[in-house]
Structure formats: C-alpha cells, structure tokens
Structure 1
C-alpha cells in the first residue's frame, strides 16, 4: 500500500522485520491467539515472529491489490499496536476478508474500528465491491468491531477454515459518512 494510510490516531503501513518484538506482543498473546483462524496461528517467540514477518514482507509485492497485511501504529508514540489484513477467504478465494488483531492492552480504545474503517474505505477506492469479516461465535469483541465498522451480519457458516463462524459483510453503500 503506497502511501501509508493515516487516521487521527493511527498509521497503517507495511510490516518490516524490525517490528518482530511488537508483532509478537500481538500474535504471540494468548488472548489474541485463541481467536485466530488457521490462516494465522499463534507465534511461539520473537524469532518465529521475525520469520513470519519476513514471509509477509516478501509476499506483499506479489499480492493482487487490495490484498495485503499491514502494521497498525499509534501515532502519538510510534508503537506498533496491531495488524490488519485483507485476503481472499478459502475455499474458493472469491471473497475478501478484513481481519484485525490488536495488542490486548490497547483493546477498548476504538483502534480496531478506526484502522478498519480506513482500510475499508481504501479497499473500496481500489474497486472492491464488498468485504467480509468472520468471527467465532463467542468472540464478542470481534463481532462488536464488525458492527461498529458498519458491517451487516449475514449468517453463520462452516465454509471458511472448517470452523463454525459468524459472517459479516460491508459494501460501499453501507459506509457511514
């Protein structure tokens, strides 16, 4: 994504391998890992996180826009507090999934909604006609964020990842001013 996206409090930018420790605070956290889908498993240590980031950095230029993975940075202190991604959902790779993961100590501050809204608007500007988010039924935080993003609940399915998931969708006409 060029240039990076910016909101009032956040910067959404490409990951670098220098982000390994900060990324591990997100993807290595048990509170985050319990909700991850098989597309992103928990990371065991900073070294493993660095390897994951290397793969993401290498893959990023080869992904068809708007697909990608990005770091969410808090502007007031330049701290990496989470990640966002847009990727094709399995098994048919027709639907784009928006996903977000934040460090648990930043939950409850509206960062996921703020970052997600910026990425949704950007994706629609790139010509995407709809985006989906999936959440495990007990993941009330993710479901709440999907709703705050303006996403509509469209049902429950086991089509994606072989898990029973709640499915939410947003289209350009659903965007709030």
Structure 2
C-alpha cells in the first residue's frame, strides 16, 4: 500500500482511500444479514450495489475531501469502512461498518474517535451528525462513548432513526480547533 493513499492512522487501524477494484471487498463487508440489516434496503449488497457505492465514495472524496474510507488493521486485514461524508449533500455524517469478526473489540469506537479528531483538526465544518437504526444499540453506544449528543430522530427510508450530533465544543478533553 502506498503512503499517499493513507488518510489517517489510529493505534490499531489505518484509514486508506479505496482502489478501483475494491467493490468485492465492499460486497463482502455487506454480504450477510448481520452486516446489512441496519442499512437502507436491509439486505445483503450485490456486487453492482457495492460498485455503485464505491464510485460514490470516489466522487465524495474528490468533491469534499472526505468520504467513507477502507478500514484495515495494522497487519493489513480489511475489516470494514469508516469515515465522514455529506448526508443528503448537506451536513457531514459519521458512518462506519465492520465485518462481524471485528465486532466487540472496541474498533468502531477507536475509528469514530480518530475520525472525530481528524475532522475537527482539518476544520471541515463546525460539526457533524450520525444516526443509527433504532435497534442498533451497539452503534448508539459507540456514538455516546465518543461524546455525541442525541438530537431529534431522523426519518431515513421510512425508518425513524436515532440521531446524534457532535461539535468541536462537545469533545471531551479535546482542544477546540
């Protein structure tokens, strides 16, 4: 992997920009009901859907300087995606998704904290949002752990999602950039 593709590093993770041929990785990430049940459509992704989403991430990165990145461990294993991108072309939104084998190890929290520091350090915007399916308690726990505050619910694809917000001032023990 070339260093110019490295976006961010945390103690156990590397956030890197996708490669053109990564659609099979994205499909594998969302190939089970467990990893896709809380996403729009609530069904495993086809290779075509994965490729379409990958193209969208390239466009977001070119337009906004940030997107959902490929998430790999320091030993080079692909474990998911994580990043901050625009939601409905308006506010920035934090999102992440990990393969099942990576669940329960604090990696989502580590990724979310690293992205928060990176986002505010780069001064993309005064804040960002995140949202989860109402049944996705694990993800809600992650968002609360990093200091996000709950805000009014948001309607997404007919489901009233639990919504959160974060501003630089809300970051516990962190400098305001």
Tell me whether 81-90 or 127-136 shows the greater mean CA deviation.
81-90
SS in 1 for 2:152: strand
Which runs of no fewer than 5 residues in structure 1 stay unpaired? none
Counterpart mapping for 1:115-154 below 5 A: 115-127=111-123, 128-154=125-151
Q: What's the counterpart of residue 78 of structure 2?
A: 80
1:6 to 1, 9, 15: 9
1:33 to 32, 36, 48: 36
The structure whose RCO (Cα within 8 Å, separation 6+) is larger is: 1
Tell me whether 24-33 or 110-119 shows the greater mean CA deviation.
24-33
The answer to whether the Cα contact below 8 Å between 1:23 and 1:80 also exists between their aligned partners in 2 is no
Distance 1:151 1:78 in 2: 30
The answer to whether the Cα contact below 8 Å between 1:29 and 1:103 also exists between their aligned partners in 2 is no
Structure 1 residue 44 corresponds to structure 2 residue 46: yes
Runs of 4+ with >6 A deviation: none
Report the CA distance shift for 1:124/1:37 in structure 2 as closer, same or farther (over 3 A): farther
Q: What's the counterpart of residue 173 of structure 1?
A: 169
The answer to whether the Cα contact below 8 Å between 2:6 and 2:15 also exists between their aligned partners in 1 is no
Tell me whether 108-117 or 160-169 shows the greater mean CA deviation.
160-169
Q: What is the Cα deviation at residue 6 of structure 1?
A: 0.6
Which runs of no fewer than 5 residues in structure 2 stay unpaired? none
Could you tell me the TM-score, scaled by structure 2's length? 0.82
Report the CA distance shift for 1:95/1:115 in structure 2 as closer, same or farther (over 3 A): same
Cα RMSD between the aligned structures?
2.5
The answer to whether the Cα contact below 8 Å between 2:23 and 2:54 also exists between their aligned partners in 1 is no
The answer to whether the Cα contact below 8 Å between 2:60 and 2:85 also exists between their aligned partners in 1 is no
User: How many residues are paired up?
Assistant: 169
Q: What is the Cα deviation at residue 32 of structure 1?
A: 1.4
Q: What is the Cα deviation at residue 83 of structure 1?
A: 0.2
